[in-house]
Copies of this chain bind each other. A is one copy, B any other.
């Protein structure tokens, strides 16, 4: 507990020795597919493998399984396996996963407000005379 408090404080205040406290969070939640998965679980609630598969469009079952396993191991989602025939498996956010909600809202908000500016910057950059 004490140890944890120390390192989290160091991370939050910006450790002099390198260390970007945002990186670990990025590594944890922000890969190609984890964000869409968490978002779908967040907005549509508890659901089965096939439902997730359909909602996340083009993802393949292999990759979906891999990401779900990772998120489960990280404690962000909960997997419940009902031994029926045919099998039924349901996924839902854990309390820890749900704690990300304000963060996701904040991210979506920033995107809504600023992604247009990024587009504009790219356009201007590409249109500028090559030097």
* Contact surface of A with B, Cβ cutoff 8 Å: 4, 8-9, 11-12, 14, 18, 20-26, 28, 30, 35-36, 39-40, 43, 55-57, 72-76, 96, 99-100, 102-104, 106-118, 120-122, 124-126
Contact = CB atoms under 8 A, between A and B. Distances in A.
6 contacts: A18-B36, A18-B57, A21-B39, A26-B107, A103-B106, A103-B110
Nearest to A12: B112
A11 B100 contact: no
B55 A18 contact: yes
> What is the predominant secondary structure among interface residues of chain A facing chain B?
helix
B115 A25 contact: yes
Contacts of A104: 22
